[in-house]
Chain A
Amino acid sequence: MAGRLRLLVPIVCSTAFAGCGGGQSPLSPKSKPAHDISTLWWWMLAVASVVFLGAVFMITIAWLRRKREGLPYLGRRENVANGLVVVFGLLVPVAVLGVVFVIANLVVTKDTDAPAAGSTAMSIHVIGHQWFWEVRYQGTPAVTANEIHIPVRTRVDVAVNTADVIHSFWVPELNRKIDMIPGQTGRILLYADRPGQYRGQCAEFCGVQHAHMAMKVIAEPAATFRGWLANQSRPARAPTTPAQRLGRQTFLTTACSDCHTLRGTAARGVIGPDLTHLMSRSTLAALTIPNRPDELARWILDPQHVKPGNKMPGLKLDAAETRNLVDFLESLK
């Protein structure tokens, strides 16, 4: 039955929703948990549609027969009317709801539960910050932000925490969401059937820039992933040109280093994202802008314009300082 449904899903999906397949739609699942949830949805939609259309049909009948008393065929016997209420208002709903309960809450929910201990190949620790995601790869020194690389077709255990307020970790094409609540650790499975990029977004209102707290999961072949992780585990590259050296100087002597970490240097700030391998990311500020030199310069000069209210202040840097700083940051491959 599930197999037949799986065939049905993309058809209904592509005709009903033009937006399917792009972005972060729960209706374009790319893993078993997300798939089961979307199948559950289509079934529930089918049942709900029958109920809804049935009721609309009855109201239409009431309108068509507004001049006549009683029900078609059944007439105006009061006990028939009461019986209808008992059957359709009480018995049928109880039966339908019972089925929904068993399938959804006893069967499907198993797929979306936190992964059993030891059932996963690797663990990632994601920490929500106002308004970005800190990502740590357990057992390695690798720390990154907002772009989570995982090996494809591998069960990955994600443990989530928050550094401040409640956030919610949600990559809908891969799994349901899990809240990040102070004082507790949430756990969820990440698994991707196919290589690709899957967008996610904070799903609990967390303050002014809740709207710009997005992320993406990048599922790639195991070998690519291992190469990426090895690079992430290394300290920051040393500058190679005079401009880069000046830029690094600026970074280490201004407030940048109070908030950001560059592993292998004196910059150990923990308020903002780890910038050790900034250039391995394709976006900045939790997917708010692309990671291009001009955008990077714009961000450093006036982050409050790009993402109003975020926790990074604009520092007063002159044109040369900014150019050198961007030069340096561009070298952090």
Chain B
Amino acid sequence: MATVASPEAARRVQRLERVWRERPGLLGWLTTCDHKRIGILYLFTSLAFFAAGGVEALLVRTQLIRPDNGLLGPEKFDQMMTTHGVTMIFLFVIPISIGAFGNYLVPLMIGSRDMAFPRMNALSYWLFLASGIFIYTGLFLGHGPNAGWFDYVPLGSKQYDPGPNVDFYALGLIFNGVSSTAAAINFIVTIFKLRAPGMSLNRMPLFCYAFLAVSFALIFALPPLNVALGFLELDRRLGFHFFDVAHGGDALMWQHLFWIFGHPEVYIIILPAFGIATSIIPTFTRRKMVAFPLVALAEILVAFIGFGVWVHHMFATGLSSITLVYFAAASLIIVVPSGIQLFAWITTLNTGRPEFKTPLLFICGFIIFFLLGGLSGVMFAAIPFDQQLTDTYFVVAHFHFVIFGAAVFPILGGLYYWFPKVTGRMYHERTGQLSFWLAFTGTALTFFPMHIVGLLGMPRRVYTYPGGMGWSDYNLLESIGAYVLASGLFLIVANLLVSAFRGVRVGPDPWGGATLEWATSSPPPDYNFPVIPKVTSAYAMWDREDREEDARKLTRGDLVLERGHETPASTVLDADWDEILEMPSDSPWPITLAAAAAGVFAFLLLGHWLVAGVFGGLCLAVLAAWHRQEPQLA
């Protein structure tokens, strides 16, 4: 709300500015608890890890460019391939979608001034950063994770992997999991309690449904992973025998625990992408989503059923056929909610008047790739086909279309879509479209031929392959594709970086978007909204009178809350006015706690139990200090 109507309004805004002002300079960034700044920190950090994971992917693809290539030896290759997977999943896709998009946008979309627990939010970020540095320290010391991202035992056990590689992996992921768990809890409370008055659950944007579903999924999916990683470390470091068959342990238990986490994880990765798609499509087709309630229900169902399909990763392990049939059925059932969403997107495109700007192009790419990945996914619910093609390049093709094509394309489209909101400037449209076509062609060229080499019998995770198998030409094509894709991604980054300084300035709502983030100026002020908006439909920005009423309220001083560092809380279902929450401002404790936690993990890795304990004590002390300093009235 750039134009302020009256002197009273101006005074109120001034007061809000003063109360919510962020500390300037580096110290401000280190101690910030503002969800937008944390979102931006998440964005740059996860993009840095994306670049690292991308370089690893290029090295892998260059090694495989021709048969019997000698660029990377097998040990280096295994580290690159494993770290690529770990990075892309734990240090890129999840942090960028949940940490960057979720943090920046969810409070804006629900008309709140921050996340429910701003300091915990900062803690999530610093823990994530520290865990990423932790894992990469291993790689730079030449001991990167090397047993594949799902680290099957006994290959990942001390006996067969005696170096610290797997310890960097296991401890790093436990560390990372703390961050994700904190973030998930924060999103659940934020979405349930901080919605603007009137935004009952049925008026909540589908984007927020996706994040709600993801957060619940994370909370239930991470414990089995942490248990598995904990067992693994006990086995490796203290001589326990959880997975050691020779002493009554069970190697297959690792696979169960891992995939009970790992399959929901796939939906955790893709649901935010669905949320982004359901934000971009209505904006660029100028119409509401077709079948809104079905789509909302489907998003929740996907997250839920996702917990019942893990065994389809284990169809070749020789489990009883009744088990296989049950999990195959569940794996087919989960296709249905995805089918509903897919068709809802396509029908919305068809019934609206789509304007194919860059963000929508990326969503079209997403729909096509999601279809490809989804259709090959259905095939893996056919038990004999799965048993034939699992662990071949066909799987690599399948999950890259899902995780890269379907999960990352909306993220790229989302970067373009919300760029004007975050920077107040517009990206360059022609370059944007060119970058889409490069990325689209690159993705298709890299991953499509993998179906074929898989069907020709090429196993995955091989550092090299013999000539004369009919695989070589396809591999060459894939490697070329990887470079085309990289150039597309590079162009996106260049476009956004240049536009951040040179782009045309834009107002609050350059697209005519439907959700509340477009109600406030670009970039949004520290307090997000001068007036807490009142909501009467799921497309709040398209209700013109409501928004005009907001402006009048500013003059009246209704729902401005300029007296304190405050945001309103509302009831869970109907979002009726509940109470006013005093929000904490910047705090030094989150980053301190993360540093202390990093100390714990570093010394656990080194096996200095005592020092690790001391750092654990330090964590408790920091928590106590944190607790004593409750938010003050400004």
Task: Answer yes or no: B316 CB below 8 A from chain A CBs.
Answer: yes
Contact digits for B238-278, partner A, Cβ 8 Å, 1 yes 0 no: 00000001100011100000000000000000000000000
A 71-130 contacts with B by CB, 8 A:
71, 76, 78, 81-82, 84-86, 88-90, 93-94, 97, 100-101, 104-106, 108-109, 111-114, 130
- Minimum CB–CB distance for A66 against chain B, Å: 5
Closest chain-B Cβ to A10's Cβ sits at a distance in Å of: 15
Task: Check if B1 is an interface residue, CB within 8 A of chain A.
Answer: no
- State whether B155 touches A62 (Cβ < 8 A): no
Whole-angstrom distance from the CB of B397 to the nearest CB of chain A? 13
Task: Categorize the interface residue count of chain A.
Answer: 35 or more
Provide the bound-state CA to CA distance between A33 and B384, in Å: 9
- A68 touching B316, Cβ below 8 Å: no
Within 8 A of A (CB), among B357-383: 364, 367-368, 371-372, 375-376, 378-379, 381-383
* With A165-B160, A178-B318, A205-B461: A81-B351 Cβ-Cβ less than 8 Å: yes
**Quick one: given A19-B470, A23-B469, A58-B346, are A104 and B336 in contact (CB under 8 Å)?**
no
In the complex, which residues 154-208 of chain A have their Cβ closer than 8 Å to any Cβ of chain B?
164-166, 168, 170, 172, 176-179, 181-184, 186-187, 199, 201-208
B134-142, B385-393, B536-544: which lies at the interface: B385-393
Are A112 and B154 closer than 8 Å at their CB atoms? no
Within 328-366 of B, Cβ neighbours of A (below 8 Å) are at: 328-329, 332-333, 335-336, 339-344, 346-356, 364
Question: Is the CB–CB distance between B74 and A208 below 8 Å?
Answer: yes
Q: Spot the interface stretch: A47-55, A258-266, A269-277, A313-321.
A: A47-55
Contact A85–B343 (Cβ < 8 Å): yes
- Complex contacts, A168 vs chain B, CB 8 Å: 316, 391
CB distance from B590 to the nearest CB of A (A): 38
Bound CA span A93–B74, Å: 43
Whether A36 pairs with B371 at a CB distance below 8 angstroms is no
Question: Does B185 touch A at the CB level, under 8 Å?
Answer: no
Binding stretch for chain A, among B16-24, B303-311, B451-459, B517-525: B451-459
Shortest B373–chain A CB gap in Å is 11
Chain B residues with CB below 8 A from A34, complex form: 388
Q: B78, B251, B350: which has the most chain A beta carbons within 10 Å?
A: B350
Contact B74 A308 (CB under 8 A): yes
- A209 contacts partner chain B, Cβ-Cβ < 8 Å: yes
Tell which of A86, A88, A105, A309 touches B75, judged by Cβ atoms closer than 8 Å: A309
For chain B, the count of residues having a C-beta within 8 Å of the partner chain is: 83
Do most interface residues of chain B lie in helix, strand or loop, or is the interface mixed? helix
Report whether B339 and A90 are in contact in the complex, using a CB–CB cutoff of 8 Å. yes
B431 at the interface (CB under 8 A from A): no
The reply to whether the CB of A18 lies closer than 8 angstroms to some CB of chain B is: yes
- Report the separation of the CA atoms of residues A164 and B159 in the bound assembly, to the nearest whole angstrom: 9
Q: How far apart sit A52 and B448, CA to CA, in the bound complex (Å)?
A: 14
B379 contacts A44, CB within 8 Å? yes
Kindly supply a per-residue 1/0 record for chain B positions 131-161, scoring 1 wherever the CB is within 8 Å of any chain A CB and 0 otherwise: 0000000000000000110001011000010
CA distance A62 to B351 in the complex (A): 8
Q: Is B462 an interface residue (CB 8 A)?
A: yes
Given contacts A26-B457, A41-B379, A84-B347, contact A55 B367 (CB under 8 A): yes
Within the complex, the shortest CB–CB distance from B277 to chain A, in Å, comes to: 13
Indicate which residue in B245, B350, B468, B470 contacts A25 across the interface (CB closer than 8 Å): B470
Residue among A90, A205, A309 with max Cβ neighbours from chain B (10 Å): A205
Q: Inside 8 A of A70's CB, which chain B residues have their CB? A: 351
Within 8 A of A (CB), among B282-296: 287, 290-291, 294
Q: Which listed residue, B78, B321, B344, touches A85 by the CB 8 Å rule?
A: B344
- Would you call B346 and A62 a contact (CB within 8 A)? yes
| Contact in complex: A26, B251 (CB < 8 Å) | no
Which residue of A68, A84, A205 is within 8 Å of B353 (Cβ)?
A: A68
A244 within 8 A of B: no
Contact in complex: A81, B290 (CB < 8 Å): yes
Inter-chain contacts of A183 with B (CB < 8 A)? 245, 250-251
- Asked, given contacts A69-B351, A109-B321, A308-B73, whether A176 binds B387 with beta carbons under 8 Å apart, the answer is yes
A170 to B339, CA, bound (A): 33
Q: CB of B465 within 8 A of chain A? A: yes
Tell me, yes or no, whether A297 is within 8 Å of chain B by CB. no
Assembled-state Cα–Cα distance A203/B468 (Å):
19
Could you tell me if B318 and A181 are in contact, using CB atoms closer than 8 angstroms? yes
- Cα-based distance from A181 to B349 in the complex (angstroms): 49
**Distance to closest chain B CB from A90 (angstroms):** 6
Tell me which residues across on chain A come within 8 A of B250, comparing CB atoms.
183
Contact of B387 with A205 in the complex, beta carbons under 8 Å: no
Asked whether B101 is an interface residue with its Cβ less than 8 Å from the other chain, the reply is no
**B451-503: which have CB < 8 Å to A?**
452, 455-457, 459-465, 468-471
Q: Give the distance to chain B from A59, nearest Cβ to Cβ, in Å.
A: 6
The chain A residue with its CB closest to the CB of B375 is A48
Across-interface contacts of A111 in B (CB, < 8 A):
384
Q: B325 within 8 Å of A by Cβ?
A: yes
Question: In the complex, what distance in Å separates the CA atom of A22 from the CA atom of B68?
Answer: 18
B632 at the interface (CB under 8 A from A): no
By a CB distance below 8 angstroms, the chain B residues around A65 are: 350
- Does any Cβ of B come within 8 Å of A252's Cβ? no
Contacting pair B354 A48 (CB below 8 A)? no
User: CB within 8 Å of B: which of A13-29?
Assistant: 17-20, 22-27
B3 at the interface (CB under 8 A from A): no
Name the residue on B nearest A98 (C-beta).
B332
Given A177-B387, A211-B463, answer yes or no on A76-B351 (Cβ-Cβ < 8 Å). yes
Residue of A nearest to B250 (CB): A183
Partner of A165, one of B155, B287, B333, B347: B155
Complex partner residue of A17 from B73, B328, B333, B470, CB under 8 angstroms:
B470
- The answer on a CB contact under 8 Å between A22 and B382 is no
Residue of B nearest to A106 (CB): B325
A97 to B336, CA, bound (A): 9
B:62-109 near A, CB below 8 Å: 73-75, 78
Q: Does B317 contact A (CB under 8 A)?
A: yes
Question: 5 extra interchain contacts, Cβ-Cβ under 8 A, other than A27-B456, A62-B350, A104-B381?
Answer: A52-B371, A59-B364, A69-B353, A201-B459, A211-B462
18 interchain pairs (CB within 8 A)?
A24-B456, A26-B388, A34-B388, A41-B379, A48-B375, A59-B364, A89-B291, A105-B324, A105-B381, A105-B383, A112-B383, A164-B160, A172-B457, A179-B316, A179-B317, A201-B459, A203-B316, A205-B461
The 7 closest A-B pairs by CB, nearest first: A19-B470, A89-B343, A104-B382, A183-B245, A211-B462, A176-B387, A24-B457
